[in-house]
Amino acid sequence: MKRYWHKRPLLIRQAIPGFAAPLSRDALFELAARDDVESRLVSHARNRWQLNHGPFDAGDLPPLTRKQWTLLVQGVNLHAPAIDALMQQFRFIPDARLDDVMISYATDGGGVGPHLDSYDVFLLQAHGKRRWRIGPQRDTTWRENVPLRILEHFEAQEEWVLEPGDMLYLPPGYAHDGIAQGECMTYSIGFRAPLEQEMLQNFLYYLAENVAELPFARHFAGRYADPEQPAVKHPAALPEAMIDTLISQLKRVRWGPKEVEDFLGRWLSEPKSHVFFDPPQKPLSTVRFAREASARGLTLSAKTQLLYRRNRYYVNGEPLEVPVNARPTLRRLADRRALKAGECAKFEQNDQEIVEILYDWYASGWLELGRDSKPGRKLRAVRKKAG
């Protein structure tokens, strides 16, 4: 983090030794056919680029024998537990910044052209080989009449072929071009990097939507009035009194760390528009739920985002007032995204408030009872050479 994060590229050979893609090509194609999964198809033939948006049925995709096409499937971690487990290994970055795992499947020669991203990305080779060329791009002119943002004058300074388990980290704005050597799959672990304008705009929306609950709301209890308004000769002109009144009101608008923290907690934990939760078809009773949790533990749904700041918690865009005795448990759940069976057994009999909170999340599909799973291969410590 000190040497490379947000600063310069890093090539890590065998970041996950002996890595084998946990999701098959056919399983990826099935995800691309779903309405609740974002997917794109990029093809390049006869010097022409083409972009199509999913969902894609089996007949929509080109033959596997055709060269130079790529299928991009976004947010795979939300639908494949093995991919979600992989993404959890990147939680040395705050959850507020971690976005999703995109899988790029490509036939020989496939790619999306030389480009640069506005966010940090880890490119993990999962299957086959891909040749990467990278460079600090100065000329960011984009090609015209192309449906993708492809650099017109790409200048590569370094080049490698990545094999399964190899990983390349790139900071924002670092140009790169990846070309498949034969059939391959690459996992892109991407991060959120909202525009400052976007953050400001959404904060102002937050103030407007929650004005009644904010401390300065008492200043805006009445309606506009202009008892001193004289008769006018120019009725179309904006009245000075109304302008002065609004300026005066805006000066009364105040916010501090509490409001900013509350906004960020709600906004950053809000699920994306295409994310839908799946509540249990036959939910257990509260008593049975607590008993099962004590035996099996609990796990947050891959789609759930649980954030906290001091003693305030935010789950899927909703602020949560948490009793003092429940805070340590929910903090462990947020940081580990799971509670062990023994931890659940402790509060089954002694803390009904925690049980009720967790049961509501379970009934909403935000939380799941634990299940037996085998741990995956771990990312090893980064001690490799810089890119």
Tell me the C-alpha to C-alpha distance, in Å, between residue 212 and each of 216, 224, 382: 9, 17, 50
Out of 158, 174, 191, a domain closes at: 191
pLDDT tens digits for range 221-239: 678 889 989 999 999 999 9
The confidence band for 176, taking pLDDT boundaries of 50, 70 and 90, is very high
Q: Are residues 146 and 276 in the same domain?
A: no
Residue 85 tokens read as 């487990």
Q: Taking residues 9-24, report their average pLDDT.
A: 97
pLDDT per residue as tens digits for the range 262-273: 999 999 999 999
Same domain, 57 and 169: yes
Residues 261 and 186 in one domain: no
pTM: 0.89
Please give the full DSSP string across 188-207, using - where no structure is assigned: EEEE----HHHHHHHHHHHH
- Final residue before a domain boundary, out of 191, 222, 244: 191
Mean of the per-residue pLDDT values of the chain: 92
Residue 306 pairs with which residues in a beta bridge?
Answer: 315
Structural domain ending residue among the three candidates 175, 191, 207: 191
- Does residue 287 sit in the same domain as residue 366? yes
The reply to whether 178 and 266 lie within a common domain is no
The pLDDT confidence band at residue 216, using thresholds 50, 70 and 90, is confident
| C-alpha pair distances (Å), 21 with each of 82, 125, 188, 283 | 9, 9, 13, 34
Q: Is the pLDDT of residue 185 over 90?
A: yes
Contact predicate 308/330, CB 8 Å: yes
Q: Which structural domain, as residue segments, surrounds residue 367?
A: 256-379
Domain count, the chain: 2
Claim to verify: residue 276 and residue 168 sit in the same structural domain:
no
Q: How many CA atoms lie within 13 A of 101 on its CB side?
A: 29
For residues 306 and 170, state if they share a domain: no
Nearest one of 122, 121, 119, 113 to 147, comparing CA atoms: 113
CA pair distance 182, 129, nearest whole angstrom: 7
Residue 247 pLDDT level (bands cut at 50, 70, 90):
very high
